[in-house]
Structure 1
Amino acid sequence: MVIQHYALKPHNTFHFNVYADYFSAPKNSDEIIQVLTNPLLRKQPLFILGGGSNVLFKSDFKGFILKPDIQSIRIIKQNEQSVWVEAGAGIDWDSFVAWSVDKGYYGIENLSLIPGNVGASPVQNIGAYGTEIMNVITRVNGIFLDTLEPFSFTNSACDFSYRNSIFKNKLKGKTIITSVEFVLGKQGKIKTDYAGVKEEVFRLGKPTLKNARQAIINIRESKLPDPELVGNAGSFFKNPVVKSAVANAIALDYPDAPIYKVDDQFAKIPAGWMIEQCGWKGKSMGNAAVHKNQALVLINKTGKATGEEMLALALEIERSVKLKFGIEINKEVNVV
């Protein structure tokens, strides 16, 4: 079913009051192809929408928004050590993590409470607390938008890197993901080496899979606003990876700077730390603001912010960081 002049406020976590000219949420690949062969819709600008947690709508979308709503989960195969699972693109990501933990499957528990849908997870190569999704993805399935032919990419074909994939660069706007296949462990060891995780796990009791998930949830909830209550898209900026010489120079001026070595040539500096050093934490510009507890998160403070206001705030923050540190920070959100 295709709906005209469709309200997108329930489908973007900033809660911007914007509309799409046309909207459809097909529940399987056949329905996707059906709407994509509609002569009227083929002429419209197209945007593929997932959970709406990583998108900033500047204004109404003059075109067609397609939101895959494929909800199936199936076990492809398994052995004593591992299980291979295919999950539909429309499944809420955290619900999928909860499902895997309830089943006793290891591998994605540290990615708990990340907003969005399964279909978006490989696009961003989502990651948190020492885990990246690229390490458990075996295949990504979907449809090429130009030919409407199916594809099935192996992990190596996805060209994963830090918060990046082939779907975000070379194939951006050229595919629609229908399902993602994962390999999860029936046995495993929880990752607690990220700051604060071990302490929270042991505060909850034993280092079990369920306690690991709850620890991550507790940590994220203590730092990040609930998008159901305060409009936000989680981390607005990527953490920049810079040359070691640049990081070393910053460490001389800021001995307590949280700098993480990537390899012998590069290091990662948290964008949130730099934004905070620029004095933006808790500051507002109109109806848009920087969260008081986490400077990496921009929020719709009053519930009345527009995408243009949020973007203006982001640009000012980028300028401040560039001026103070000589480092360019890039948006993690998709500006539409």
Structure 2
Amino acid sequence: MLVENNVPLEPYNTFHIVAKAQTLIRVKSEADVAEVLADPVLGPARKFVLGGGSNIVLTGDVKAVTLKVEIMGRRLVAQDDKAWIVEAGAGESWHEVVDWTLSQGWPGLENMALIPGTMGAAPVQNIGAYGLELQDRFDSLDAIDLHTGRPFTLNASQCGFAYRDSVFKHGAPGTGADSNNLGLKDRALITRVRLRLPKAWRPDLGYLDLQRKQAETGITAPTPRQVFDWVCEIRRAKLPDPAVIGNAGSFFKNPTVTPEQCADIIAREPNIVHYPMPDGTVKLAAGWLIDACGWKGKSIGQAGVYEKQALVLVNRGGAATQAPAGATGGEVMTLARAIQTSVYERFGIRLEPEPVVI
């Protein structure tokens, strides 16, 4: 086990915010976790689990022991007449695993291509894009309890998946607002994730952007790889590359409202982008709401709203290749709160941030 001190975290968060980890340990196996927990100093200390850093906002140096998850490996663990079950280490790149499964002839993840981050972080956020969420393809995961050191396995129902939510984002029973939840926040370190990929594959082209690609190309029955390529093209056209412009992807969740609330908003704003949901609610496009409030392209300090997609907040001075002179976490959160206030004052809707604020 290698313990590093005062480690700069700019390369390890996609916002490229300047901060340091007072103590950082690279976790490459379950044995590394056991060694940390057995250490008389590190074991009792608070822990911060770090994956790809694509869904966090650092507002200062991290005093907790930072466990940088780098567990690798990919394999087919089982298959039957209905599905392939594939497994990947928590440190694997999500996008690279999506690409790999298609190369192996196991489709089903193509709509979630190019989502940044690692496999271990995917269940925490219940990542999703273009009509598909992780829970739609999830089988199970392995994790280690950072309090007891015991390994455990969870299936989909035990993960408590919801829209950009899971049991890993909520505290244990008896902790304030989460008193009714069996939460695993700050307690679990995910080591491996298994996905169930259906053999009876069919393309999911419900989103307008994908339908436009279908119309542009004239391809009525796209292959999984073609859908993958379309998603990559769409995302690259809309979203900034974190290597060039620091960002954490979509910063706010798309809010859901009742049909009556939606009708009231449409009466005032006929062009609002909205999507009816299976449960009867209506999902509104947070990016449209932010753009309607005039925030696209504006900045507070070095934190700004991306010119091509108002849902994305960016670090105007921070990229992986630049000197550390970009936005602070405080500037990012000041901008986020200002946007929330504008949207609430105009639409009566409270936007909820996606990233975890550290």
- Distance (whole Å) between structure 1 residues aligned to residue 42 and residue 55 of structure 2: 24
Among the aligned pairs, what percent are the same residue? 41
Give the aligned partner of residue 228 of structure 2.
213
Distance 1:263 1:82, change over 3 A: closer
Give the aligned partner of residue 93 of structure 1.
94
- Distance (whole Å) between structure 1 residues aligned to residue 278 and residue 111 of structure 2: 23
Aligned match of 1:191 in 160, 181, 204? 204
Give the aligned partner of residue 12 of structure 1.
13
Give the aligned partner of residue 161 of structure 1.
162
The answer as to 2:302 corresponding to 1:305 is no
Worse overlay, 283-292 or 244-253? 244-253
Deviation for aligned residue 1:202: 5.8
Aligned match of 1:290 in 297, 305, 313? 305
Match runs of 1:1-336 below 5 Å: 1-169=2-170, 170-201=183-214, 203=216, 206=219, 207-263=222-278, 265-303=280-318, 304-336=326-358
Worse overlay, 122-131 or 42-51? 42-51
Match for 2:28: what amino acid? K
- Distance (whole Å) between structure 2 residues aligned to residue 261 and residue 83 of structure 1: 31
Question: For structure 2, which runs of at least 5 residues remain unmatched after alignment?
Answer: 171-182, 319-325
- Distance (whole Å) between structure 1 residues aligned to residue 201 and residue 293 of structure 2: 41
- Distance (whole Å) between structure 2 residues aligned to residue 202 and residue 2 of structure 1: 54
Query: Scaled by the length of structure 1, what TM-score is found?
Result: 0.97
Distance 1:264 1:45, change over 3 A: closer
Distance 1:195 1:147, change over 3 A: same
- Poorly superposed stretches of 4+, deviation over 3 Å: 201-206
Deviation for aligned residue 1:134: 0.2
Give secondary structure in 1 for the equivalent of 2:98. helix
Q: Deviations over 1:5-43 (max 9, x none)?
A: 111111000011210000011111111111222222234
Worse overlay, 21-30 or 108-117? 21-30
Give secondary structure in 2 for the equivalent of 1:311. helix
Q: Deviations over 1:306-330 (max 9, x none)?
A: 1111111001111111111111111
Give secondary structure in 2 for the equivalent of 1:39. coil
C-alpha contact (below 8 Å) 2:55/2:248 kept by paired residues: yes
C-alpha contact (below 8 Å) 1:201/1:212 kept by paired residues: no
- Distance (whole Å) between structure 2 residues aligned to residue 230 and residue 318 of structure 1: 23
Match for 1:220: what amino acid? R
C-alpha contact (below 8 Å) 1:204/1:215 kept by paired residues: no
C-alpha contact (below 8 Å) 1:77/1:83 kept by paired residues: yes
C-alpha contact (below 8 Å) 2:108/2:224 kept by paired residues: no
Alpha carbon RMSD of aligned pairs, Å?
1.4
- Distance (whole Å) between structure 2 residues aligned to residue 36 and residue 17 of structure 1: 28
- Distance (whole Å) between structure 2 residues aligned to residue 259 and residue 199 of structure 1: 17
- Distance (whole Å) between structure 2 residues aligned to residue 205 and residue 26 of structure 1: 47
The number of aligned residues is 336
Match for 2:232: what amino acid? I
- Distance (whole Å) between structure 2 residues aligned to residue 87 and residue 150 of structure 1: 17
- Distance (whole Å) between structure 1 residues aligned to residue 38 and residue 231 of structure 2: 43
Q: Deviations over 1:222-255 (max 9, x none)?
A: 0000011000000001111122221111011011
Query: Scaled by the length of structure 2, what TM-score is found?
Result: 0.91
C-alpha contact (below 8 Å) 2:111/2:231 kept by paired residues: yes
C-alpha contact (below 8 Å) 1:104/1:209 kept by paired residues: no
Question: For structure 1, which runs of at least 5 residues remain unmatched after alignment?
Answer: none
Distance 1:187 1:263, change over 3 A: closer
Q: Deviations over 1:125-181 (max 9, x none)?
A: 111001011011111110111111011011111111111111112211111100111
Worse overlay, 307-316 or 78-87? 78-87
C-alpha contact (below 8 Å) 1:285/1:313 kept by paired residues: yes
- Distance (whole Å) between structure 2 residues aligned to residue 35 and residue 162 of structure 1: 33
